[in-house]
Amino acid sequence: MLTELRKTFYLLDNQFIIKGRTQEKPAGRVAPDYGLVTTPQLHYMVYCRNTSGRYGKATIEGYYEKLSKAFIELTKQAFCSGDDYRSLKVDCANGIGALKLREMEHYISQGLSVQLFNDGTKGKLNHLCGADFVKSHQKPPQGMEMKANERCCSFDGDADRIVYYYLDVDGHFHLIDGDKIATLISSFLKELLLEIGESLNIGVVQTAYANGSSTRYLEEVMKVPVYCTKTGVKHLHHKAQEFDIGVYFEANGHGTVLFSKAAETKIKQLAKESGDKKREAAKMLENVIDLFNQAAGDAISDMLVIEAILTRKGLTVQQWDALYTDLPNRQLKVKVADRQVISTTDAERQVVTPLGLQEAINDLVKTYRLSRAFVRPSGTEDIVRVYAEADSQENADSLARAVSLAVFQLAGGVGEMPQPGF
């Protein structure tokens, strides 16, 4: 199965766009048929239409041309130490991303060579492959041949999420998720902002699931402010709109960067009028703006941004991974009779009800180094999700189990009681 198909309706300029097919309106008008596209590409074309073409040309060719032009401009004069920097293996999750990336290959071949796996010619959508599988199981997808230190990435089925990974010389798997993607991107943007010398504010938006090491690195090393929202892209996107440059990524690899109209105007002005050094940095920012899909998280767009940054900075995937070390963590689920007994505040990091549960979590967290834990109810079923991290995997596991037991005892757990330890 090559594509992930869902009926998606958008009303724009008194027309309907329906993903993958044409729909006739009652008045007899026919909506434009864009054929099979990724979810982010559809968002892109809607955004183009709703801005009367100011954002870009509302065709798949317009999407390819805008992104590829920006990518080639960013990478054409970059430091490069050989073909390894220009080659990337991509797991397409047997989804629509394979079809669209294949179409885009010749647009970007000057700056990047991609080798596609799980391209839909065999295998099922997201089965033992794709971004969610790789992140959840912490191992490579089936169907991809990997050598030591090769840079690889995975899309999800509709190509709105991306994670990177590699095998080291000892065969150990290393995952680079949305947290490290946000760190790489925001660090690069912060450097460019310093070069142009303008007081544009930048903020990184995360959820409670972001690894604590990423938050500390951004705040303490890069001096970039970090904000936390509730889980869900709509919350991150809304918060990111408050900044001149808002970077948001969920740990699962879904995210993008938003630029305010004022920031875009200032950057374009500097790209034309500034001195040589400022103008060069401003032109890079101008191309970065065009390379991001500001309508939605987009695996293809994010991949090109990441590849451009790595190439410009001369970074290997190992050097990127070494920016900071993730704290070990564990996620568990607890069945409860009624998930609504759990209510939270502070972007889901603190429990309000039932009384006594947050105090119990606080006491447990105090017994482990570099630790934190939070719980939140599922939005769809009677379970409570538990997250814990600590200085070692053993301690993270132990803390997660202890917090699960507290949830079971204080929030009406049902079924088998969690046992302390693993």
Give me the residues paired with residue 373 across strands. 388
pLDDT given for residue 33 in this prediction: 85
Report the DSSP pairing between strands 329-335 and 383-389.
antiparallel
CA distance 269 to 279: 9
Residues of the chain scoring pLDDT < 70: 1-29, 77-85, 274, 420-422
pLDDT given for residue 21 in this prediction: 44
pLDDT given for residue 10 in this prediction: 39
pLDDT given for residue 223 in this prediction: 94
Torsions phi, psi of 93, nearest 5?
Answer: 60, 20
Domain parsing of the chain, residue ranges: 2-58, 329-410
pLDDT given for residue 31 in this prediction: 76
Torsion sign over Cα 89, 95, 98, 100? negative
Task: Considering the domain delimited by 329-410, tell me its CATH architecture.
Answer: 2-Layer Sandwich (3.30)
Burial of 300 (0-12, 13-18, 19+ CB in 10 A): buried
Helices (H) and strands (E) in the chain, counts: 13, 16
Q: What is the DSSP letter of 197?
A: T
- Strands (E) in 19-75, as ranges, are none
Q: Residue 164 has which token pair?
A: 């990177």
Judge whether 60 and 294 are in contact, CB under 8 Å.
no
Q: How far is CA 66 from CA 22, 48, 108, 132, 399, in A?
A: 25, 12, 11, 28, 48
Q: Is the pTM of this model over 0.85?
A: yes
- Strands (E) in 177-328, as ranges, are 202-207, 226-229, 245-249, 255-259
- List CB contacts of 141: < 8 A, sequence separation 6 or more: 91, 93, 117, 118, 128, 129, 130, 133, 134, 154
CA distance 60 to 74: 21
pLDDT given for residue 62 in this prediction: 98
Q: Residue 206 has which token pair?
A: 């995360």
